A = this chain, B = another copy of it.
Amino acid sequence: MSSSSQPGTPGLDDEPRSIRKRRAILEAATTLFLRNGYLGTSMDEIAALARVSKQTVYKAFSDKESLFSEIVISAVNEAADPVHASVLELEDTGDIEADLHAFARQLLGQVMQPRILQLRRLVIGEAGRFPELGRTFYAQGPGRTIAALATVLERLAGRGLLQLDDPLLAAAHFNWLVMSIPLNKAMFLGEDEAPASAELDGWADAGVRAFLAAYGRP
């Protein structure tokens, strides 16, 4: 272990600068990808907007696809991490109806953030050319939430709080009942502003009511 990586030891002098540069590159690239699309953005333009040399960009990211991938993965994880934490808490619920409503509202609020909507559109638009990136978005986003929710729903069914044969199917139905209506509108209408949170809460609540009518205890 080199001395510079020991806990409590300050890093190399240039480390903070390289982190700052990395962040500037990521911000510039995000701005340009969202404005001009993936194909319409060059590493030269990213370097210029980030005010770094092209060499610096290539030192930090081996190519445009890696840079795009890092942006998408970190944005999706930032939205999905708090949702994932909440899914796990559902298992010990003392009030399944109230807790599913609260969870659905949180889930929808994360998905409908303007930046996440914009990236979702961009990844879908490029999925024919860059299916790997689409797979990553799907796996880290809806795929991860649905898988975790399936485990929890199965345990809630085991406690007699739900009725279901196929936990993964039930979790997917929950996910899309909660988000499909506002999400599909947002995908097509291209609006950058998310609807008011009262409106989103209404869609989340309606989705949970339908889910509980289908999968709740009789």
Contacts and interface: CB of A to CB of B under 8 A. Distances in A.
Interface of A: 34, 36-37, 39-40, 118, 121-131, 134-135, 137-138, 142, 166, 169, 172-173, 176-177, 180-181, 184-185, 187-192, 206-207, 210-211, 213-215
A184 B142 contact: yes
A185 B135 CA distance: 9
Contact of A40 (B39, B166, B169): B39
Q: Which of A129, A173, A189 has the most CB of B within 10 A?
A: A173
Contact of A125 (B37, B173, B177, B185): B37
Contacts of A125: 37, 121-122, 124-126
Contact of A190 (B134, B177, B191, B211): B134
B121 A127 contact: yes
Contact of A185 (B36, B118, B123, B138): B138
Q: Which of A129, A180, A206 has the most CB of B within 10 A?
A: A180
Contacts of A172: 180-181
Contact of A127 (B135, B173, B190, B215): B190
A96 to B, nearest CB: 16
B128 A192 contact: yes
Contact of A137 (B36, B127, B166, B188): B188
Nearest to A142: B184
Contact of A213 (B189, B191, B215): B215
Given A124-B125, A214-B210, A181 B176 contact: yes
A40 B125 CA distance: 13
Nearest to A40: B39
Nearest to A118: B128
Contacts of A206: 166, 169, 173
Contacts of A130: 190
A184 B191 contact: no
Contacts of A213: 213-215
Contacts of A191: 131
The 7 closest A-B pairs by CB, nearest first: A125-B125, A127-B190, A176-B180, A131-B190, A213-B214, A138-B188, A134-B188
